[in-house]
Amino acid sequence: MAGTFTFHVVSPEGNVLKEEIEFVVLPGVDGDLGILPNHAPMIAALDTGVVHYTVNGNKKKLAISGGFVEVSENKATVLADTAEFAESIDVQRALEAKARAEKRLLQKAHDTDMKRAEYALRRAITRLNAADGKND
Ligand code: ATP
């Protein structure tokens, strides 16, 4: 095995995850960021998206909605605005949030904050993608 590194995810609600993992792909604002053990030190901004990581050969997913990652000394620390494990996502809630955001975007009412609705739609779609059983 090529080794492991510490993957730590923190959200405003506290520690989400801290474990030794083999590989992670994060949704960077400029594209996906793949991190393996002994990665060079780095700080990068993260987008709303699905985090894919491998622990003991098992692939897992987390939904995050923006934040930062810092990599140093064989540790990757993600500070996320929100973070949910695929298994803990409430699919019905995400479907309802998606429908609300889509309705706002379609209605284009003068008092609608379009950016806010777009971000809400992206969070909902990300959560649905993470909750999806497929490990793409
Ligand atoms: P909603 O309109 O359903 O609240 P939202 O995108 O506005 O969705 P956020 O502000 O991103 O929600 O998140 C608020 C809190 O609720 C965070 O702690 C987040 O992890 C959690 N959360 C939001 N949606 C879900 C979901 N579908 N399943 C599980 N946790 C969720």
Domains contained in the chain, CATH given: 5-86 (2.60.15.10), 90-132 (1.20.5.440)
123 alpha carbon – ligand 1 mean position (Å): 8
pLDDT, tens digit (0-9, with 9 covering 90-100), for 101-128 = 999 999 887 777 889 999 999 999 999 9
Who's near 128: CB < 8 A, 6+ residues apart? Answer: 89, 91, 94, 95, 98
114 alpha carbon – ligand 1 mean position (Å): 19
Nearest CA to ligand 1 atom 10: 82
11 alpha carbon – ligand 1 mean position (Å): 12
83 alpha carbon – ligand 1 mean position (Å): 9
Other Cβ atoms within 10 Å of 119 Cβ, number = 15
The answer to whether the CB of 89 is under 6 A from ligand 1 is yes
pLDDT, tens digit (0-9, with 9 covering 90-100), for 69-103 = 999 999 999 999 999 999 999 999 999 999 999 99
106 burial type by CB count under 10 A (0-12 exposed, 13-18 middle, 19+ buried):
exposed
